[in-house]
Amino acid sequence: MVGSQGEMGGSISESGIDIDRHDESSGDDAVARLLREIEGASAGPVERMDFERIRRETLEPILAREGDQFRFDDGLVKESLDELLVSLVALRAEGTHGKALIEALDSVFDVDLSPGTVYPRLHRLDERGILDVHEMVRTKEYTVADEGAVRNLATDAMYQHCAMALFFCTALEQFE
C-alpha cells in the first residue's frame, strides 16, 4: 500500500519507506520485492522460494559488494533462530527433520549450530503449538501447526531486521 509521493517522485509507504528507492535498475530487486511485500504492495501471493534462489537473490549480491568477506554473525542467527526455524519448515516440502534444518541453516547462513542449540528450540516451538512433531522411524519431522503464529514470528523479525537495515543505510549515507 503506497502512501504518498517522495521528493523525487518515488513512492513513499505509510511507514515512511521509499519503496521505489530499491528497484531492478539498481540491482536491488530482492530488496524492492521485500519492501513491497512489507507494505502489502505485492503483485500477487508470496511464492515459495528455494534456498539457492534465496542465496542468489539476497546473499550473493551482498557477498560481491563486500569482496566475499561478509559472513552472518552466529549470535544474530541465534537471536532469530525461532523465526528462522519456522520459516525453514514453512518453506520446505520435505526434509524438515532436525539434521536437515541444521544443514539448511549452515547452507543459507554459513553458521555451524550444534544440535544442542537447535533441538531445544524445535521442542519449545512444538510446546508452544507453533510446530507439530511427527515421530518417524529414526527421526522427527516438523510441520507448521499454527500458520498465523509462523506468519507473526516471521513478520515481526522481518520488520525488526528491515528497520535496522534502513537505519544503518540512512546513517551510512551521511558518509557518502
Q: What residue has cell string 525461532?
A: 82
Domains of the chain, with CATH numbers? 72-173 (1.10.10.10)
Crossing angle between the packed helical segments 147-173 and 29-38, to the nearest 10 degrees: 120
Residue 18 burial (C-beta neighbours within 10 Å; 0-12, 13-18, 19+): middle
CA dihedral sign of residues 166, 171, 174, 176: negative
Residue 28 burial (C-beta neighbours within 10 Å; 0-12, 13-18, 19+): middle
Long-range contacts of 165-174 (CB under 8 A, 24+ apart): 166/17
Q: How far apart are CA 67 and CA 130, in angstroms?
A: 39
Contacts of 167 (CB under 8 A, 6+ apart): none
End-to-end CA distance of the chain: 30
The torsion of the CA quartet 112, 115, 117, 123, rounded to 10 degrees, works out to: 140
Reading the chain (176 residues) residue by residue, the pLDDT tens digits are: 334 444 444 444 443 434 444 344 444 455 555 555 555 544 444 444 466 666 667 666 666 665 556 678 899 999 999 999 999 999 887 778 999 999 999 988 889 999 999 999 999 999 999 999 999 888 899 999 999 999 999 999 999 988 888 888 888 888 87
